[in-house]
Structure 1
């Protein structure tokens, strides 16, 4: 009789451990889009500029094809902090909804692409790699990515190209093809400037601390990543961090020469 109870206890313990393992495994982050493997984005409308609605509540993905979306779910309960999104080596914050969902438009390059998402505490990680065979797709040869570390704040990215074209939230697409994807007014970002055929010469990247939701003493750290020749052997990434101390502050983060 004692051996029977011992055996039953062992079975119960093993069952509990397996159940716990299943819960842990099922709690992993998921990426619905993009899907891994090979694909061809030919014929798909995947424009870079995204619609903006005011008052803005989050980055929206209205009207975007599946070829221009990053979408999935993170089960971690703490949604007060952003997750992390890493696209082709460029890290940026990832806003997470109340039920763990996330959705982000992104203009991917043809060729190889890597997407990784992480939960705020780093316990959940999911990676996807895919290859876009659409050689006719115009790849951004210059990206500038602005993100920041606080919620409820509004930082704005300003990029002035060598020909004097000024891209910002009030002028999101210019004649030389440069464009700002979306104006994020609710914290974290990212805001992404991209150009498929950047004019040669000197660029100036500014960050403006537009507002802080009433807390004028709220310090936020801006992070700017500059990526040139993405997806090629000549790819170069630089990143800079700048403290933004009060609304109204305008800071020149970097002047650089392309190419």
Structure 2
């Protein structure tokens, strides 16, 4: 006897589903903004606690400096990075085997947004928060480097109009600019910013320092230049640059601030 269509549908709705549960994203942080500042608005140091890009950091270490969360019901064989979008700038985000993730980031005073998206775009989580910490320094210029490969070390180099050179070996400049952290484990970001940028020409370089797997592996860098972040006249520009082997140094962008 062949069951009727209605009876078959009723039977199917009572059977347990064998499909995987949909993955969901939880964001525990961010909770803060610029970590350290001094009275003068044109001189400050962004302090981000190491390890810069690892979820193995102790729970009480650098909470304000991390975007941190958990992916629930993530497929066990998933390897592709997620996409992290901070204030409109997208960058790859590594997720560990247990579904946890963490990323150092220096937030500006005022309104900020953080969103994490799954590789297929089916799962996402977005938070908007307003940083009201007293004495916050507001960056007028921010240059951000991210890249699309894990276990790879790229370095951001910026030459300011007065000839100063900021990089991992010289993170704080006399003119007030600062590089927040040297990320050596893949994806970034490394962020240079200045609360009172000098007028003149800026040179932005990216150095492919090395790879833990293959020194000739291709990686694509993304450099974003943001001026007057969080203000009505904010401007963003992003540039993607392929880098083919370790040791390669590339002038990505030069621009003039009035």
Fold conserved between structures, TM > 0.5: yes
Aligned to 2:81: 82
Report the Cα distance in structure 1 between the residues aligned to 2:133 and 2:186, rounded to whole angstroms: 34
Greater helix proportion: 1
Alpha-carbon shift at residue 224 of structure 1 (Å) = 0.6
Alpha-carbon shift at residue 198 of structure 1 (Å) = 1.5
Pair 1:200 & 2:202 matched: no
CA contact (8 A) 2:145 2:191 kept: yes
Pair 1:33 & 2:26 matched: no
**3-state SS of the aligned residue for 1:184?**
coil
Aligned to 1:213: 212
Report the Cα distance in structure 2 between the residues aligned to 1:15 and 1:231, rounded to whole angstroms: 52
Alpha-carbon shift at residue 85 of structure 1 (Å) = 0.9
Alpha-carbon shift at residue 204 of structure 1 (Å) = 0.6
- Of 40, 47, 50, the residue aligned with 2:48 is 50
Question: Superposed, which structure 2 residues align to 1:135-146 within 5 Å?
Answer: 136-146=135-145
CA contact (8 A) 1:83 1:117 kept: yes
- Of 66, 70, 83, the residue aligned with 2:67 is 70
CA RMSD of aligned residues (A): 2.9
Aligned to 1:256: 255
Report the Cα distance in structure 1 between the residues aligned to 2:55 and 2:28, rounded to whole angstroms: 18
CA contact (8 A) 2:48 2:181 kept: yes
Report the Cα distance in structure 2 between the residues aligned to 1:15 and 1:233, rounded to whole angstroms: 55
Distance 1:192 1:255, change over 3 A: same
Distance 1:64 1:52, change over 3 A: closer
Aligned to 1:38: none
Report the Cα distance in structure 2 between the residues aligned to 1:122 and 1:134, rounded to whole angstroms: 33
CA contact (8 A) 1:85 1:115 kept: yes
**3-state SS of the aligned residue for 2:28?**
strand
Report the Cα distance in structure 2 between the residues aligned to 1:135 and 1:79, rounded to whole angstroms: 42
Alpha-carbon shift at residue 201 of structure 1 (Å) = 1.5
CA contact (8 A) 1:61 1:103 kept: no
Alpha-carbon shift at residue 46 of structure 1 (Å) = 2.0
Aligned to 1:13: 13
> How many residues are aligned here?
242
Deviations for 1:182-201, whole angstroms, at most 9, x for unmatched residues?
Answer: 21212222211122222222
